[in-house]
Amino acid sequence: MSSTAGVPFPFLKGHGTENDFVIIPDPDGELDLPPAVVARLCDRRAGIGADGVLRVVRSAAHPEAKAMAAEAEWFMDYRNSDGSVAEMCGNGARVFARYLERAGLVEPGDLAIATRAGVRRAHIAKNGGPVTIAMGAAELHTSARGADEITVSAAGHTWPVRKVGMGNPHAVAFVTDLADPGPLQEAPVVRPAAAYPEGVNVEFVVSRGPRHVALRVHERGAGETRSCGTGACAVMVAAARRDGHDPRQDGAPVTYTVEVPGGQLEITERTDGEIEMTGPAVIVAEGRIDPGLLV
Ligand SMILES: N[C@@H](CCC[C@H](N)C(=O)O)C(=O)O
């Protein structure tokens, strides 16, 4: 944050199903956010504490988003808590939309958000109600137990994985009990590592009833979190295919309830393959960052 050295800088804190974010308004793209500064902001003891950072920049002011500026005024510059950059964050997109509404930069209703995974459409309900994000279509790779099988191991167990792309990479494993993967203090081991050259978010899933699942997630760049929106969408699609639903073939949409440790998301796969995720988005605080944290 070189251009603001010495000046306390405004921030907000928000969460979506307890996936929490430091929000940094930077409309004109003036800030430099090196990974070490992001990691300090996200530090839960020595910083503000969060799973990631949402920098709010006008698309026209950001080199990665300029091409999307005609379609989406605002770019979500998302960073994981370790400082790494990710293509997309589903819970973050809901919180980003809520921030724009609260700041008076957009009205409740429809808006477009530029992300590294492309433009995503959002709908903000009035009076602090839920936010829906059209997350794009899932990219489904070889099925679990397919020929080029991928596995994930944790706490002495190994499971086959369904590889799903939601703009970012996911490995979905159906387990018997959500306690089976253990404490997830370390990243679960995915094999072959070459299946995910950019790293991976891993979801462990159990069934709770018809079109109702629950998950735990270990996020790339953040560790175990209380929720992951892209992960919940990846899980929804993997569960739908396992259960014999494919809206593009069936000609009917399908909706799943996805429980996460921090709450619940409703996720629909439409007949055109688009996945819509609906859930809460809450701003809990705002303040000023001490310049000492930024150097
Ligand atoms: N929590 C997010 C996903 C954030 C990015 C992820 N850790 C990655 O590196 O791909 C969500 O809600 O989708």
Please report the ipTM that was assigned to this predicted complex.
Answer: 0.99
- Tell me the CA end-to-end span of the chain in Å, nearest whole number: 7
Cα 53 to Cα 92: distance, rounded to the nearest angstrom:
9
Same domain (yes/no): 265, 149: yes
- pLDDT, tens digit, 9 for 90 and up, residues 32-64: 899 999 999 999 999 999 999 999 999 999 999
Name residue, tokens 């993997």. Answer: 238
Q: Does residue 209 surpass a pLDDT of 50?
A: yes
Same domain (yes/no): 78, 159: no
Same domain (yes/no): 121, 199: no
Residue type, 155: A
179 lies in which domain range? 139-274
Catalytic annotation on 228? yes
> The domain that contains 245 carries what CATH number?
3.10.310.10
Cα 273 to Cα 284: distance, rounded to the nearest angstrom:
34
* pTM metric for this prediction: 0.96
| Cα(45) to centroid(ligand 1), Å | 22
Atom of ligand 1 nearest to the CA of 19: 1
Same domain (yes/no): 195, 221: yes
Q: Does residue 147 surpass a pLDDT of 90?
A: no
Pairing of β 157-160 and β 151-154: antiparallel
Q: Which of 71, 86, 171, 185 is nearest to 119 (CA)?
A: 71
Q: How many domains does the chain have?
A: 2
| Cα(7) to centroid(ligand 1), Å | 30
| Cα(95) to centroid(ligand 1), Å | 13
Same domain (yes/no): 162, 214: yes
Is the C-beta atom of 17 inside 6 A of ligand 1?
A: no
**Is 270 part of a structural domain of the chain?**
yes
Same domain (yes/no): 161, 263: yes
Mean pLDDT (whole number) for 71-75:
98
Q: Burial-class residue 21 by CB neighbours within 10 Å (0-12, 13-18, 19+).
A: buried
**Is 67 part of a structural domain of the chain?**
yes
Cα 159 to Cα 186: distance, rounded to the nearest angstrom:
17
Same domain (yes/no): 124, 224: no
Residue 141: strand pairing partners? none
Mean pLDDT (whole number) for 140-156:
79
Contact (Cβ atoms closer than 8 angstroms) between residue 191 and residue 153: yes
**Is 111 part of a structural domain of the chain?**
yes
* Average predicted confidence (pLDDT) for the chain: 95
**Is 254 part of a structural domain of the chain?**
yes
